[in-house]
């Protein structure tokens, strides 16, 4: 019994030294949280656009022989590459590389959040690739960005009064088919200001055209 307790203490001491050493490699200034048993850690990572991300790491008792479990506020988690020689700094580097792959998605979502009348925008999750946009006249469009091809037309769902929704849906379906052959075209014509990863092209009376533009964007005034 005593021998078992001594072995457990030695293993625990070795584990502690290993974790502290690896945190030192990453940099203590990046550490957000560390549990008392050292098996849960959270690191702060800032991407090239200045967005702050936190990656949570759960260490197994057999670490580093067993890979850690990871979680973060991102649309999807990367496939961890791990070996018995891997260290926390390697994990953080893989996370940074994953953040780079997600930049286009977040750029699009940030542009939507900045320019459109987005519902429930307070503290949006970076894992959420959907947005509900108020079109006015009791109509809402729900957009979902494709994580594997963010620059493609998003999936959309219209909600609201039947006459308006039916009209918008037909316009969207008809004009979205032209996406492959034109870099800029009118998708919707509705009586409020809305931009869909896009630029405002023409204003006619009280109606505005909403255009999808793969190459160029411009800024719209905030909704009134």
DSSP string for 158-222: EES-HHHHHHHHHHHHHHHTTGGG-SEEEEEEESS---SSEEEEEEETTEEEEEEESS---PPPP
Q: Is the pLDDT of residue 30 over 90?
A: yes
Helices 88-101 and 103-115 cross at an angle (nearest 10°) of 50
CATH 3.10.110.10 is right for the domain spanning 1-74: yes
Confidence at residue 207, expressed as pLDDT on a 0 to 100 scale: 35
The band of 55, judged by pLDDT with boundaries at 50, 70 and 90, is: very high
Confidence at residue 127, expressed as pLDDT on a 0 to 100 scale: 95
Q: Comparing 65 with 155, which gets the higher pLDDT?
A: 65
| pTM score of the predicted model | 0.73
Per-residue pLDDT, averaged over 59-64, amounts to 90
Per-residue pLDDT reduced to its tens digit, 171-219: 777 666 665 444 443 455 443 334 443 333 333 333 333 444 333 333 3
- Rounded Cα gap, residues 150 and 154, in angstroms: 8
Confidence at residue 212, expressed as pLDDT on a 0 to 100 scale: 40
The band of 108, judged by pLDDT with boundaries at 50, 70 and 90, is: confident
- Rounded Cα gap, residues 109 and 197, in angstroms: 8
- CB-CB neighbours of 155 under 10 Å: 12
Enumerate the domain spans of the chain. 1-74
């Amino acid at each position: 019994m005593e021998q078992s307790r001594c072995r457990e203490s030695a293993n625990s001491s070795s584990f502690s030294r290993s974790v502290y050493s690896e945190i030192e490699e990453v940099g203590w200034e990046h550490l957000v949280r560390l549990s008392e048993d050292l098996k849960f850690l959270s690191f702060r990572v800032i991407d090239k656009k200045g967005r702050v991300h936190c990656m949570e790491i759960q260490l197994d008792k057999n670490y580093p022989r067993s890979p850690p479990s990871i979680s973060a506020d991102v649309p999807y988690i990367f496939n961890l590459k791990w070996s018995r020689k891997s260290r926390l700094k390697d994990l953080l580097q893989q996370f940074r590389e994953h953040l780079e792959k997600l930049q286009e998605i977040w750029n699009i979502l940030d542009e939507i959040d900045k320019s459109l009348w987005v519902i429930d925008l307070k503290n949006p999750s970076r894992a959420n690739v959907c947005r509900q946009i108020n079109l006015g006249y009791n109509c809402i469009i729900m957009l979902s960005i494709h994580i594997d091809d963010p620059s493609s037309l998003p999936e959309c769902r219209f909600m609201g009064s039947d006459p308006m929704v039916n009209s918008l849906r037909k316009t969207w379906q008809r004009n979205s088919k032209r996406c492959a052959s034109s870099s800029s075209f009118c998708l919707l014509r509705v009586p409020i200001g809305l931009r869909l990863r896009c630029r405002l092209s023409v204003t006619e009376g009280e109606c505005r055209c909403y255009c999808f533009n793969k190459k160029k964007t411009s800024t719209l005034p905030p909704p009134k």
